[in-house]
Chains A and B, each alone.
Chain A
Amino acid sequence: MRRDVRTLDKDFWSGAGLVVAGIVYAGFGARYSIGSLSRMGPGFFPVALGAILALSGVAIAIAGWLAAPPAVPVERRKPEWRAWFLISASIVAFVAIAERVGLVPAAFAIVFISAFADRDNRWRQALVLALAITAIAVVVFWWALQIQLPLFGNQ
Chain B
Amino acid sequence: MIWQSLSYLWFGFGVALEPHNLMWSFFGVLVGNLIGVLPGMGALSAIAMLLPLTYTMHPVPAFLMLAGIFYGSQYGGAIGAILLNLPSHPPHAVTCIEGFPLTRKGKGGTALGITMIASFFAASVGIIVMILASPLLVAIAFKFGPKEIFSIMLLGLIAGSTMARGSPMKGIAMTTFGLMLGTVGTDVNSGVQRFTLGFPELSDRVELVALAMGLFGVADFLRHVNHMHVITESRTVKLRDMRPSKAEMKQAFWPMVRGTAVGTVFGAMPGTGPTITTFIAYALERRITKTPERFGHGAIEGVAAPEAASHSKTQVDFIPTMTLGIPGDAVMALLLGALLIQGIQPGPQLITEHADLFWGLIASFWVGNILLVILNVPMIGIWVRMLRVPYRYLFPSALFFIAIGVYSTNNSLFEVGEVLVFGVVGAILMAYDYPVATILLGYVLGPLVEENFRRALLLSRGDLTVFFQGGISATFMTVCILLVVGQLWFAWRAARRRKRGEIDDAIVVPVAAE
Contacts and interface: CB of A to CB of B under 8 A. Distances in A.
Contact of A53 (B177, B190, B432, B453): B177
Contact of A129 (B397, B404, B416, B423): B397
B411 A53 contact: no
Counting chain A CB atoms within 10 Å of each CB, the highest count among B167, B179, B180 belongs to B180
Counting chain B CB atoms within 10 Å of each CB, the highest count among A18, A119, A126, A147 belongs to A18
A94 B403 contact: yes
A60 to B, nearest CB: 5
A75 B169 CA distance: 24
Contacts of A118: 225-226, 391-392, 395
A148 to B, nearest CB: 5
A60 B173 contact: yes
A140 to B, nearest CB: 9
B456 to A, nearest CB: 11
A11 B464 CA distance: 34
Interface residues of B, number: 58
B408 A115 contact: no
B408 A32 contact: no
Interface string B428-466: 000011100000000000000010011001101111100
Contacts of A41: 190
A84 B227 CA distance: 13
A122 to B, nearest CB: 10
A154 interface: no
Given A18-B173, A91-B416, A114 B194 contact: no
A36 B462 contact: yes
Interface size band for A? 35 or more
Contact of A110 (B187, B189, B226, B403): B403
B187 A114 contact: no
A7 interface: no
Contacts of B179: 49
Interface string B268-302: 00000000000000000000000000000000000
Q: Give the interface SS of chain A, mostly helix, strand, loop or mixed.
A: helix
A51 B83 CA distance: 46
A68 B419 CA distance: 37
B239 interface: no
Contacts of B180: 25, 46, 49-50, 53
B190 A115 contact: no
A57 interface: yes
A39 B226 CA distance: 53
A90 B399 contact: yes
B416 A94 contact: yes
B420 interface: yes
A112 B177 CA distance: 34
B167 A60 contact: yes
A8 interface: no
A95 B395 contact: no
B388 to A, nearest CB: 15
B145 interface: no
Contacts of B399: 87, 90-91, 110-111, 114
Contacts of A4: none
Contact of A28 (B195, B225, B433): B195
Given A42-B189, A56-B169, A84 B222 contact: yes
A147 B170 contact: no
Contacts of A151: none
A101 interface: no
A133 to B, nearest CB: 5
Interface string A19-32: 00000010011001
Interface in A122-155: 125-126, 129-130, 133, 137, 141, 145, 147-149
Contact of A147 (B392, B404, B424): B404
Contacts of B433: 10-11
B404 A111 contact: no
A130 B397 CA distance: 8
A8 to B, nearest CB: 13
B122 interface: no
A95 B416 contact: yes
B400 interface: yes
A146 to B, nearest CB: 10
A145 B222 contact: no
Interface string A48-72: 0110110011011001000010000
Contacts of B413: 95, 98-99
22 contacts: A29-B195, A32-B192, A32-B194, A37-B462, A42-B189, A45-B454, A46-B180, A49-B179, A49-B183, A56-B172, A83-B225, A87-B399, A88-B420, A91-B399, A106-B403, A110-B396, A111-B400, A115-B393, A118-B392, A121-B392, A141-B408, A145-B408
Which 6 residue pairs of A and B lie closest in terms of their CB atoms, listed nearest first? A38-B462, A37-B462, A118-B392, A42-B187, A14-B432, A56-B173
